[in-house]
């Protein structure tokens, strides 16, 4: 008889833990957004908090976020994302300040994308990326987010209402942009509309793919199977 009360109680406790977790992450984001030198800046929080901060910023961009628990400051995949369209993305967080993130990290991340069946991913750092790393990531659906861009994410997320998922803005509300067809996907990185294009060169020459309409500002692509 008591068993029938155990399962509902577990759900209640899980819901309470989720609420407190959301509040803690939101509080962290607010503190970092308002921090000045010497406060809770990107450089002064722990690596666990850094991962939570990145996850909260991505939640406010409309992604469902699963925290993997992490294996330490230099762990592998830290976050698994689910886009509003149901696509899987992975995230690796590097709270490196003195060292630029180089090609080896991006190459390993590309392998992790294949392992996790992800269509794309984000590598996020509090510092910077080398020029070679940026070149390697180009065209591979890997978004490199440095400290400057991350601070912009945090500022934008702080202004957004509290939520766990957010659908991309309707094209009707975007002045000068026609409403896309119902089967037109949104960019996995910036949520802009996409358009069908054909590869002009390389191993995929002649193949069609979805490309972000804000290119070259955003290089998001989706392969057409």
* CATH code of the domain occupying 10-159: 3.40.1350.10
Q: Give the separation between CA 124 and CA 196, rounded to whole angstroms.
A: 28
Domains of the chain, by residue range, sit at 10-159, 170-225
- So what's the pLDDT on residue 21? 53
User: pLDDT tens digits, residue range 44-95?
Assistant: 888 899 999 999 999 988 999 999 876 555 457 999 999 988 999 999 999 8
Helix (H), strand (E), coil (C) string for the chain: CCHHHHHHHHHHHHHHHHHHHHHHHHHHHHHHHHCCCCCCCCCCCCHHHHHHHHHHHHHCCCCEEEECCCCCCCCCCCEEEECCCCCEEEEEEECCCCCCECHHHHHHHHHHHHHCCCCEEEEEECCCECHHHHHHHCCCCEEEECHHHHHHHHHHHHHCCCCCCCCCCCHHHCCCCCCCCCCCCECCCCCCEEEEEECCCCCCCCCEEEEECCCCCCCCEEECC
Residues of the chain with pLDDT under 70: 1-22, 24-26, 34-40, 70-75, 160-182, 202-204, 216-217, 225
Instruction: Return the pLDDT at 55.
Output: 94
- Integer Cα distance of 202 and 197 in angstroms: 14
Q: What is the pLDDT of residue 5?
A: 52
Res 160: pLDDT: 61
pLDDT at 97: 77
pTM of the model: 0.64
pLDDT at 37: 56
- For residue 4, the model assigns a pLDDT of 56
**3-34 vs 47-59: helix axis angle to the nearest 10?**
100
pLDDT, position 71: 55
DSSP-assigned beta bridge partners for residue 120: 89
Query: Pairing between strand 120-125 and 88-94?
Result: parallel
């Amino acid at each position: 008889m008591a068993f029938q009360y155990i399962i509902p109680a577990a759900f209640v406790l899980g819901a309470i833990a989720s609420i407190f977790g959301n509040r803690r992450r939101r509080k962290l984001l607010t503190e970092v957004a308002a921090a000045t030198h010497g406060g809770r800046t990107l450089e002064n929080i722990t690596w666990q908090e850094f991962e939570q901060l990145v996850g909260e910023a991505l939640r406010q961009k409309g992604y469902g976020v699963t925290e993997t628990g992490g294996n330490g400051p230099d762990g592998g995949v830290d976050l698994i994302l689910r886009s509003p369209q149901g696509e899987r993305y992975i995230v690796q967080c590097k709270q490196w300040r003195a060292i630029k993130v180089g090609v080896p990290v991006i190459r390993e991340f590309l392998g992790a994308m294949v392992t996790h069946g992800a269509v794309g991913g984000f590598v996020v750092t509090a510092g910077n990326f080398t020029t070679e790393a940026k070149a390697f990531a180009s065209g591979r659906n890997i978004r490199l987010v440095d400290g400057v861009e991350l601070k912009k994410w945090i500022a934008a997320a702080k202004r957004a209402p509290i939520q766990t998922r957010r659908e991309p803005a309707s094209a009707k509300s975007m002045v000068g942009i026609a409403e896309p067809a119902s089967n037109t996907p949104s960019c996995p990185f910036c949520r802009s509309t996409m358009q069908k294009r054909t590869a002009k060169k390389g191993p995929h020459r002649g193949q069609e793919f979805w490309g972000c309409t804000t290119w070259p500002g955003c290089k998001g692509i989706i392969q057409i199977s």
